[in-house]
Amino acid sequence: MSQSLQITILVIAYMIGSIPSAVWIGKLFYNIDVREYGSGNAGATNTFRVLGKKAGIPVLIIDILKGFAAVQLPYLSEFVPGSVQFVNLQLVLGVASLFGHIFPVFASFKGGKGIATLLGIILAVHPFAAFVSIAVFLLVFLISHYVSLSSITAAITFPIVVIVVFKTQIPSLVIFSMVIAVLVLITHQKNIERLLRKEESKSRLVKKSKHAQSHDN
């Protein structure tokens, strides 16, 4: 695979991740920048809370597809699908799209925390482990109604499933799964502090309020 092609698809992955669906949908249909309300994040959860489910659902789907689409780019290479080289490239491009979501070039480098985009990435790379993590997220959310706690628990579940349950032999995937857990813990530091102080806002993800002050995941 030529260096020029590697750079090209890396840039494409970042640009795909940079599509600020929450910002564009909010401004186009509601004349609102979701980053000025709620948690200030340009993510699906804040969109649900600020603009409601009619805006939140499309944003969620688009953000998941961003990660999923970026990880399909290795099919343009000569690497054999499923090979170590193929998976390595998938992970690199997935990180590029995640970086684009968090720091989108199309939205002044102020995006979201990347949970939905990350979901799209792991769905493409390891769908079975992703489904287990989704199930954990839904279970924790139904019990607690904390999006942040659900995201953190699901992120920690992912490497456990990849390493212990499926006994993955690809080193880069093992490392990536652990990095995901650490990254989510870091990006949710403030949420963790609020959870410990019992000040974190609960959510049902369908409240329609343009001036919601609740906290995003």
Structure tokens at 40: 């200030």
Q: How many Å apart are CA 81 and CA 75, to the nearest integer?
A: 7
pLDDT tens digit at each of 217 positions of the chain: 788 888 999 999 999 999 999 999 999 999 999 999 988 999 998 999 899 999 999 999 999 999 999 999 999 888 999 899 999 999 999 999 999 999 999 999 999 989 999 999 999 999 999 999 999 999 999 999 998 999 999 999 999 999 999 999 899 999 999 998 998 999 889 889 999 999 988 876 444 444 444 444 4
The pTM (predicted TM-score) of the whole model is 0.84
- For 83-129, the DSSP string reads SHHHHHHHHHHHHHHHHHHHS-GGGTT-----HHHHHHHHHHH-HHH
Query: Among candidates 32, 86, 45, 67, which has minimal Cα distance to 204?
Result: 45
pLDDT number for residue 130: 95
Cβ atoms of 59 and 47 closer than 8 Å: yes
Q: How many Å apart are CA 90 and CA 81, to the nearest integer?
A: 10
pLDDT number for residue 100: 96
Identify the H or E element spanning 175.
helix 171-187
Tell me which DSSP letter residue 161 carries.
Answer: I
The span from the first CA to the last CA of the chain, in angstroms, equals: 38
- Rounded (to 5) percent helix, strand, coil in the chain: 70, 0, 30
pLDDT number for residue 201: 82
Cβ atoms of 217 and 113 closer than 8 Å: yes
